[in-house]
């Protein structure tokens, strides 16, 4: 069975991020495709490698064509396409209308089309690349895709906690918060403010907040969190006097620690935030991230707690926090796949469906090198 996992915008411009006003509704990033043939992972690659557009979020037509050519396949040879959504409103609407399914079947006339939730794709990408037969799995980022709940309403989750055993993944808990107060959204918001202050200490800083107090994310939002994680080492979080990230509540009937978002931060006048030392603000953001992540994981009920933990989603790129999970003895082993952010969604989607339809998943030893090989001629041409 030939399974193709894909992620990227279908029916809209996923690179519209140059307009901060529209980014929340249209921006998509990390598009790409993964091919699994009869349970064996063949190729996985992101569109930016061919388009040369950093964080390219458009439909991965170049990636797909290269994968087909490299594996001597045509569009008629694909049996199953699994598509992953995101937090864009238009992605949800086009999926519900049947547009995305119809377009995929136009591209691949003989295929069946399946959909997989954002966080389950992250979870699959990290669990199936681990050596664990059993593990807890946490996927967390700024926002996943829209999911229909029992009350008939649609919500956007920012993390999902699951259980992995052999080839089966089982969701145990999801949480739904406003974007700006999710694990990833909050960190990203403050990282952009800290980065703006750090890079423009003597100039007027362009206001990255809307009138409602929410961040107007631009195309650089992928870069700021990583830079601020490094900057945190030079600051002192104790010098920052801001409201706590979350309000903590342990409900008797709930198995998991409840993390309710604090709205107080955005009540602070913008000019006061700009007066903060960027190094200290970075340190405070990192401290808050670690504090509530470790607190949440330390409260996992014993009945479902396992020795192993797999982390996925953009927040799993925070290697400092990841290390402290082991240092504090919360879990014995922690695994993070090579592309835990949205770059690996198509990869996780293909693995998830391979686990469903095949008896085993066969992965290469060099799991971090899954793209198209380059010949000597390619290398010489690039050097010219």
Q: What's the pLDDT band for 181 if we cut at 50, 70, 90?
A: low
Backbone angles phi, psi at 84, to 5 degrees: -110, 135
Q: Which residues touch 18 (CB under 8 Å, ≥6 apart)?
A: 218, 219
Q: Per mean pLDDT, which range of 60-64, 233-237, 249-253, 315-319 is the poorest?
A: 249-253
> CB–CB of 158/176 below 8 Å?
yes
The reported pLDDT for the residue numbered 113 is 97
Percent of the chain with pLDDT over 70: 83
> CB–CB of 375/119 below 8 Å?
no
Q: Per mean pLDDT, which range of 71-80, 272-281, 283-292 is the poorest?
A: 272-281
> CB–CB of 141/114 below 8 Å?
no
The reported pLDDT for the residue numbered 283 is 95
The reported pLDDT for the residue numbered 204 is 45
Q: Which residues touch 142 (CB under 8 Å, ≥6 apart)?
A: 87, 158, 179, 182, 183, 184, 185, 188, 314
Mean pLDDT taken over the chain: 85
| Nearest C-alpha neighbor of 136 from the set 246, 255, 291 | 255
Residue scoring higher pLDDT (168 or 183): 168
> CB–CB of 245/198 below 8 Å?
no
- pLDDT of 251 strictly over 50: yes
Full set of structural domains in the chain with CATH? 2-129+339-383 (3.30.420.40), 179-336 (3.30.420)
- pLDDT of 221 strictly over 50: yes
- pLDDT of 136 strictly over 90: yes
Q: What is the pLDDT of residues 45-100, one digit of tens each?
A: 999 999 998 889 999 999 999 999 999 999 999 999 999 988 888 888 899 899 99
Token duo for residue 346: 């198509």
């Amino acid at each position: 069975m030939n399974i193709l996992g894909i992620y990227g915008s279908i029916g809209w411009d996923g690179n519209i991020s140059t307009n901060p006003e529209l980014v929340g509704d249209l921006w998509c990033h990390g598009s790409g495709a993964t091919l699994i043939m009869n349970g064996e992972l063949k190729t996985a690659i992101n569109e930016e490698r061919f388009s040369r557009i950093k964080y390219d979020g458009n439909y991965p037509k170049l990636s797909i064509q290269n994968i087909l050519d490299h594996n001597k396949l045509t569009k008629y040879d694909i049996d199953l396409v699994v598509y992953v959504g995101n937090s864009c409103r238009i992605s949800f609407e086009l999926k519900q209308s049947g547009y995305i399914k119809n377009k995929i079947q136009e591209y691949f006339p003989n295929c069946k089309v399946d959909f997989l939730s954002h966080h389950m794709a992250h979870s699959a990408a990290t669990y199936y690349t681990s050596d664990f037969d059993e593990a807890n799995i946490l996927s967390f980022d700024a926002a996943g895709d829209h999911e229909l709940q029992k009350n008939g309403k649609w919500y956007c989750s920012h993390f999902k906690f699951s259980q992995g055993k052999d080839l089966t993944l089982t969701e145990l808990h999801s949480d739904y918060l406003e974007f700006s107060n999710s694990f990833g959204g909050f960190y990203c918001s403050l990282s952009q403010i800290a980065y703006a202050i750090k890079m423009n200490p003597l100039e007027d800083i362009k206001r990255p907040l809307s009138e409602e107090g929410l961040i107007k994310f631009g195309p650089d939002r992928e870069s700021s969190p990583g830079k601020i994680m490094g900057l945190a080492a030079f600051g002192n979080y104790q010098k920052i006097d801001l409201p706590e990230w979350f309000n903590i509540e342990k409900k008797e009937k709930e198995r998991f620690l409840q993390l309710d978002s604090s709205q107080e931060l955005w009540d602070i006048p913008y000019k006061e935030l700009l007066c903060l030392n960027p190094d200290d603000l970075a340190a405070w953001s990192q401290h808050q991230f670690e504090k509530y992540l470790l607190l949440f994981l330390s409260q996992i009920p014993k009945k479902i707690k396992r020795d192993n933990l797999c982390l996925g989603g953009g927040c799993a790129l925070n290697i400092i926090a990841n290390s402290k999970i082991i240092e504090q003895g919360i879990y014995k082993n922690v695994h993070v796949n090579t592309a835990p952010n949205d770059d690996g969604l198509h990869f996780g989607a293909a693995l998830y469906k391979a686990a469903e339809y095949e008896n085993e998943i066969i992965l290469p030893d060099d799991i971090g090198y899954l793209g198209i090989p380059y010949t000597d001629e390619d290398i010489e041409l690039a050097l010219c």
